Amino acid sequence: MPWIFPEEFLQFYPQDLADIPLANDTYAPVAMPPYAWHFPADVQGMGIKANGTANFTRSRNFRRGYYAAVSYTDYNIGVLLKSLDDFGFTDNTAVILFGDHGWQLGEHDTWAKMTNFEVALRTPLIIRAPWMKNSVGRVTSVLAEAVDFYPTLADLAGLPDPLTSAGQHLNGTSLLPVFVNPDETSVKSAAYSQFAKPYLNTPYSFWPTPARLETEIMGYTVRVDNWRYTCWFQFNGTSVTVMTDHILGTELYDHTGDPGELDWAGEHVNVAGDRDNTATVKQLHALVLNYIQLK
């Protein structure tokens, strides 16, 4: 960072920094394993100590800048979509708007991306296909992954199926059934992500582009309807393999009743160690192991 935008986009947000809200919880999750946290990525000058929270004035200033940058992005999206209107392509053009990651703005006492928390992994996604009438103006709670975009767009465009026609073995799943019926949420039962870290002896360290041969930690996370489960494994950089029998730490966050908020209170407390959740942890850990084997 910094976030770069025309100055006029600051007018949409309070000039008094005291009116810019902070994250709901500016501390790392309770009972979180140390491998889940790292010092701020990309955002410099925060002066954060491990789980010590950032300077609140600077946090508010950075959050206001981020909001203004998002508003500038919204404006540019509008310019692009208007060109479809101007050239008469709106009704027969599929448009997908997505981000490649979420972004922490002080949530969990960290900044930017590169974690296995919901706020960093839940990405913005809007797809418009005007000829799929049932989908117009609708919001769906279906689980989806970025690998789903390609087969979905191929389906929406009426192109041959990449798997059957071209023999492309894809991890992604077409979301076309959701455009037919936006209430159809059984297309996918789980969404996966992973994040590599370098050093076992300094778990708060990170790098933005991990060198595989130097990676010592790998964290896999799976999101299902009501839970996010994460397991941190030791990683063998020499053989480039996950040591699935060397578990460094686990996390389980309860998303029951989550209305879609990124800063969800259920991710403020790690409940993986609760006796009542033993069966859930076992079930979700099996999904992670199966995912690793498929990769």
77 pLDDT band (50/70/90 cuts)? very high
The CATH class of 7-143+189-294 is alpha beta
End-to-end alpha-carbon separation of the chain, Å?
33
Q: Give dist(CA 131, CA 28) in Å, integer.
A: 45
pLDDT on residue 38 = 86
Instruction: Tell me the pTM.
Output: 0.94
pLDDT over threshold 60, residue 295: no
pLDDT at 45: 67
Task: Compute the radius of gyration of the chain from its Cα atoms.
Answer: 21
For the chain, the structural domain boundaries read 7-143+189-294
Q: Greatest CA separation found in the chain?
A: 60
For 57, residues 6+ apart whose C-beta sits below 8 A from its C-beta are: 17
For the chain, where are the alpha helices, taking DSSP H only? 56-87, 118-121, 149-156, 162-166, 176-180, 278-294
Assess contact for 209 and 199: CB atoms under 8 A: no
Dist CA 96 CA 285 (whole Å): 32
Model confidence over 161-205: pLDDT tens digits?
888 887 788 889 999 999 999 999 999 999 999 999 999 999 888
Name beta bridge partners: 241.
236
Q: How far apart are CA 110 and CA 43, in angstroms?
A: 9
What is residue 133's three-state secondary structure? helix
What's the pLDDT tens digit per position in 83-122?
999 999 999 999 999 998 999 999 998 888 889 999 999 9
**What is residue 110's predicted lDDT score, i.e. its pLDDT?**
87
pLDDT of residue 272: 98
Which pair of tokens denotes residue 222?
């799976």
pLDDT digits (tens, 9 = 90+) for 212-256: 788 999 999 999 999 999 999 999 988 989 999 999 999 999 999
Distance, in Å, from the CA atom of 109 to the CA atom of 123, rounded to the nearest integer, reads: 20
Confidence of residue 50 (pLDDT cuts 50, 70, 90): low
The yes-or-no verdict on residue 294 having pLDDT over 60 is no
Q: Which residues pair with 220 in a beta bridge?
A: 194, 231
Query: Which two tokens mark 121?
Result: 């992994």
